[in-house]
Amino acid sequence: MVNSDTLITEAAREAHAYDWSAIVDDLNRLLRLRTTPIGMKLFATVEEMEAIPKIRRPKAIHTTDQIVAQAARLGWTVGITAKDLAGAQCAAVIGLHPRDEDWLSGKAMAGMWYETIADSSAHQHAMDLAPYGGHTAMAVSPLASGRLNPPDICLVYATPGQMIIFINGLQWSGYRKFNWSVVGESSCADSWGRALKTREPSLSIPCFAERRYGGVLDDELLMALPPSFLVKSIEGMKRLASNGLRYPIPQYGVQSDARAGLSVSYGAKERG
C-alpha cells in the first residue's frame, strides 16, 4: 500500500523534474505560440489553493472558460471553487459538481443546443469529466511562473499548423495513434475534462462558450495534457526540427515538381 509520505515524496520529485522557464522557451521557439501556455491544478482544500503565491480570487461569477482565459490571455494566477462558477456545467467538468441525475438530464440545454431532452441528455452522458470528490478548488497559472509545480495538466492553444507539429513531436518515439472525440458544445470536456480524467493528451476544437467567454481565437485548437507528455512532445519536436521538419511549414508551391522536396522530407535518413 502507498502511504501519504510516499505520495508527498513522489510529488516533490516530480516538481523538481521540470524547468518551466526552459519548457516554455522551447515551446515558443519551436512553435511561435501567440497564447501563453498555462497549467491547471486541483486542490483538496481551499486553503491549499489560496496558499499559491500571488493567486487571485474572482470578485464576480465567471465561466471556467473565463478563468482559464485570465491565465492564458492576461497572465494571471487564479483560483476558484464551485461557488465562483456560473453553474453546474462548468463545475462538473473540473470535478467540483457531481454527475448527478439532474445534471445528466440535460434539461438546461434541451431546445437550445439540442432538439430533444433525449439528445441533450445523451450529450451530458458523453462528456468526459474530472472525477468528483477529493478536491474542492482549482487554480490556473502560466507555466513559466512555476507556481503550480507541477500542474495536473498543461494547456496549449495553437493553430492547426502548430498543433500538428506538436502532435508529431508526441509521436516521434513510442509511436501511437491518437483518437479524440468531439462532444460539441461544452468541448472543454474534450480537453481539460478528458485530460484530468484519463491523464492522456486530449485535443479539442474549442466550443462557442470558450470563444465567446474565454477569448479563444477563430484559428485556435486546444491541447490539454499532463506535464510528462509536454516534455515528450518538445523532445520529439527538437528531433524533427533537426531533420528539417519544423514550424512554420514552408509552402512548396502547388504547381511545382514535388519530387525534390519529397526526397528530403520523406526519404530515409541515415543514422549516424
C-alpha cell at 126: 458523453
Whole-model pTM above 0.85?
yes
- Percent of the chain at pLDDT exceeding 90: 87
pLDDT at res. 4:
45
pLDDT in tens, 209-267: 999 999 999 999 999 999 999 999 999 999 999 999 999 999 998 999 999 889 888 88
Domain ranges of the chain: 16-246
Residues 81-122: pLDDT tens digits?
A: 999 999 999 999 999 999 999 999 999 899 999 999 999 999
Answer for the pair 38, 141: CB distance below 8 angstroms, yes or no. Answer: yes
Q: Give the pLDDT confidence score for residue 6 in this predicted structure.
A: 46
* Phi, then psi, of 114 in degrees rounded to 5: -135, 145
| Model pLDDT, residue 149 | 93
Number of residues in the chain:
272
Question: What gap in Å lies between CA 193 and CA 187, rounded to an integer?
Answer: 9
Interval 158-184 mean pLDDT: 98
- For residue 270, the model assigns a pLDDT of 64
Which cell is 211 given? 470563444
Per-residue model confidence (pLDDT) at position 267:
80
Q: Is 86 exposed, middle or buried (0-12, 13-18, 19+ CB in 10 A)?
A: middle
